[in-house]
Each structure stands twice: as structure tokens, then as C-alpha cells.
């Protein structure tokens, strides 16, 4: 039996869109923070055939099956019973596939005694879900060309940011990221501009993180999020991951900023709003979000560490 843990990450500079080649390579550079309060734990045991159980429910997951198939083309992986538990809503825009594939790859490496480096595990995790490459590492993490391998841009202690997550729905999303990206690349008239601008946004955010310049990071991160949602909204058929509460939270963050509180929002392929702030604003940010009608719960996270094996 082998047990591994990984944290989800949220991208401040978003990945949305893939290169036109095998291996699940992103079309845009991305930069994320890993979150400590959210956890995926995965237990592996040898089985007679593969079984995948998530939060107590057996599932046929084509992404997991495809991932195991790709691994087995290179490495000798026996049939596995995989039991995964998330302490947060699954498939609802909280990066469960990122922490899921990072935990799974970490567990497989130990269980099968492959001795792969973190770089190699991150490479494999990317093939399961590109954001999972980033969840192999804690702190601030880049996923960039030319190798499209994730690497730690700054460690957890570099800048103690907090994230307050406003959960506005626990429903599973209708359109997953992979299908959403395919649709956007094929149909949004603004997709080429998105791909073209991304390297500059990435560079601006990297510099803001290096300098611990919150205002600069806030500006470019919110813009990256809104550009991504603009190309989602202009896909055909449209991809709208927001609900009315998502919009109220965005307004709430803008109001806080007008009142001098350093905070910015980011939103992924789901209706949850993640508000990044400095530690001395956490209480105010959480209190404001909690009072917005439609917010079900809030959760405060600090930056989390690497994916790892649990004894
Ligand atoms: C909006 O990594 O879930 O969260 O590679 O197809 O599995 P696949 O996509 P995935 O997409 C994440 C998209 C995002 C932005 C981000 O995390 O960079």
C-alpha cells in the first residue's frame, strides 16, 4: 500500500489551449500558486485489474485510463486499485485534476519503485492534466517553454500570500477543461490574441512575484483571468463558467480594492472565486465574501508544499 498527497494549485497566469501535438502540451505559459488547505490523498494497492474510486465512488475515468495507458507504454505499471479522496468539491473548478494526477504520479513512482526525479514525475503528470505538472511543487510554480516542464519559480516562504476561496456552487461542471480548450481554440475569434499576449503577461507576473509587488501582480493576474474568460465566452457554443454569485464576488473584490484593501480575484473553469490577498487582509476579505448572497462557504488557504508520500 502506498499513500501520496498533493495540493491543488491556482494559476495566476492561466493555461487555456493546447499545442497541436501529442503529449498534452499547453499553448500558453502559466504561473501558479499551490494551496495548502486543499488536499488530495491517493492510496494505491495492487489489484487484479485497474479500479478507480474517488470519494468512495467507483468511476470509469477516461483521463485516468488514458494516463495509465501512456505510462504503461514506457514503464511497467501493474494493475492498480486507486482510491482518491479530495477534501474539497471535485470537478467544480478547484483544480481537482491537478492535485489528482500529481498525487497519483507521486504514489505510482513510490509504489513501483521507479525512482523518477520530480522533473520526470511532473512531465508525466502534465500528460494526465497539464495543471498537474505544477502541483508537483509547492509555492510559486511556472510551466513554460521550451520543455513545458514545471519548475518552482519561488518557494513557499518567498512571499506569504493567502487565498480566500468563495464556494458558490458544488455542482460538477458541464464542460471539462480539455473539451473547453478544444472548443475555444477552434471557435473563439480572440484565441490567437490570447496565445500571442500570454508570454508578456507571464513575464510581468514573474517580475511582480520576484519583487513582491502586489499591485503589479494583481493587475496582470486579474487581466489574465478575464482574458481567459473572454475567449471562453466567445467560444461557439459559449462556455460560461460563472454564476450570478461569481459576478457579485468580483464586484466585492473591486469594492474592497477601492477601500484600500490589497486583494485580487482569479477564477478557473468553474464558478468559485479565489481571492488572493496579503495576510493582514485575510479576515476582512473572508468577512466580505461570506456576506455576499449566494456564497455557500469560504475557505482560507496559505501557500502549500510539494506533492509527497505519506507514511
Ligand atoms: C482554467 O489542467 O485541467 O484551471 O490539461 O486538459 O487536463 P487538461 O486541463 P487542466 O486545465 C486547467 C485550466 C485552468 C487554468 C490553469 O490551471 O492554468
What are the tens digits of pLDDT across the range 143-154?
999 999 999 999
Q: Quick one: 252 and 210 in the same domain? A: yes
Ligand 1 geometric centre to CA of 301 (Å) = 20
Place of cell 511582480: 208
- 223 and 96 part of one domain: no
Q: Which residue's CA is the closest to the ligand 1 atom numbered 6?
A: 178
The CATH number of the domain holding residue 243 is: 3.30.70.890
Atom of ligand 1 nearest to the CA of 131: 2
CA of 25 to the centre of ligand 1 (A): 11
> Could you give the percent of the chain with pLDDT greater than 70?
99
173 and 243 within one domain:
yes
CB atoms within 10 A of CB 276: 25
Closest protein CA for atom 2 of ligand 1 = 131
**Is the pTM value of this prediction over 0.85?**
yes
Pair (15, 150) in one structural domain: yes
- Do 135 and 197 reside in the same domain of the chain? no
Residues 235 and 107 in one domain: no
pLDDT at residue 95, as a whole number: 73
Within this chain, do residues 65 and 83 fall inside the same structural domain, yes or no?
A: yes
**For residue 136, what are the domain limits?**
2-157+306-310
Residues 167 and 146 in one domain: no
Return the residue matching grid coordinates 509587488. 213
CA-closest candidate to residue 67, choices 26, 113, 100, 40: 100
Say if residue 295 is in the same domain as residue 174. Answer: yes
Determine the 3-state secondary structure of 59 from DSSP. Answer: coil
Instruction: State whether 117 and 63 are in the same domain.
Output: yes
Strand order in the sheet with 263-266: 263-266, 273-277, 162-167, 297-301
For ligand 1, pick from 20, 129, 131, 153 the residue to mutate: most ligand atoms within 8 Å of CB: 131
Look at residue 202 and tell me whether its pLDDT is greater than 80. yes
Number of structural domains found in the chain: 2
Domain at 104, CATH number: 3.30.230.10
Amino acid at each position: 500500500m502506498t499513500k501520496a498527497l498533493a495540493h491543488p494549485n491556482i494559476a495566476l497566469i492561466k493555461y487555456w489551449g493546447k499545442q497541436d501535438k501529442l503529449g498534452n502540451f499547453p499553448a500558453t505559459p502559466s504561473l501558479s500558486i499551490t494551496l495548502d488547505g486543499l488536499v488530495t490523498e491517493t492510496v494505491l494497492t495492487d489489484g487484479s485489474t485497474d479500479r478507480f474510486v474517488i470519494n468512495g465512488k467507483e468511476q470509469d475515468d477516461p483521463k485516468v485510463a488514458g494516463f495509465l495507458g501512456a505510462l504503461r507504454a514506457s514503464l511497467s505499471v501493474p494493475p492498480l486499485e486507486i482510491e482518491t479522496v479530495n477534501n474539497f468539491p471535485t470537478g467544480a473548478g478547484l483544480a481537482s485534476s491537478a492535485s489528482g494526477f500529481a498525487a497519483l504520479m507521486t504514489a505510482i513512482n513510490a509504489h513501483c519503485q521507479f525512482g523518477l526525479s520530480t522533473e520526470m514525475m511532473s512531465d508525466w503528470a502534465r500528460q494526465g492534466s497539464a495543471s498537474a505538472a505544477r502541483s508537483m511543487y509547492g509555492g510559486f510554480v511556472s510551466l513554460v517553454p521550451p520543455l513545458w516542464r514545471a519548475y518552482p519559480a519561488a518557494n513557499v516562504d518567498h512571499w506569504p500570500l493567502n487565498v480566500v476561496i468563495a464556494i458558490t456552487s458544488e455542482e460538477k461542471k458541464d464542460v471539462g477543461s480539455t473539451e473547453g480548450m478544444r472548443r475555444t481554440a477552434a471557435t473563439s475569434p480572440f484565441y490567437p490574441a490570447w496565445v500571442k499576449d500570454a508570454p508578456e503577461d507571464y513575464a510581468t507576473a514573474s517580475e511582480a512575484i520576484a519583487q513582491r509587488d502586489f499591485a503589479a501582480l494583481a493587475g496582470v493576474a486579474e487581466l489574465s483571468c478575464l482574458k481567459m474568460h473572454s475567449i471562453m465566452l466567445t467560444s461557439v457554443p459559449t462556455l460560461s463558467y460563472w454564476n450570478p454569485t461569481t459576478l457579485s464576488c468580483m464586484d466585492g473584490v473591486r469594492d474592497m480594492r477601492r477601500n484600500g484593501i490589497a486583494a485580487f480575484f482569479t477564477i478557473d473553469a468553474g464558478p468559485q472565486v479565489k481571492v488572493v490577498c496579503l495576510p493582514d487582509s485575510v479576515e476582512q476579505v473572508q468577512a466580505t465574501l461570506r456576506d455576499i448572497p449566494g456564497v455557500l462557504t469560504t475557505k482560507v488557504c496559505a501557500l502549500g508544499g510539494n506533492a509527497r508520500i505519506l507514511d
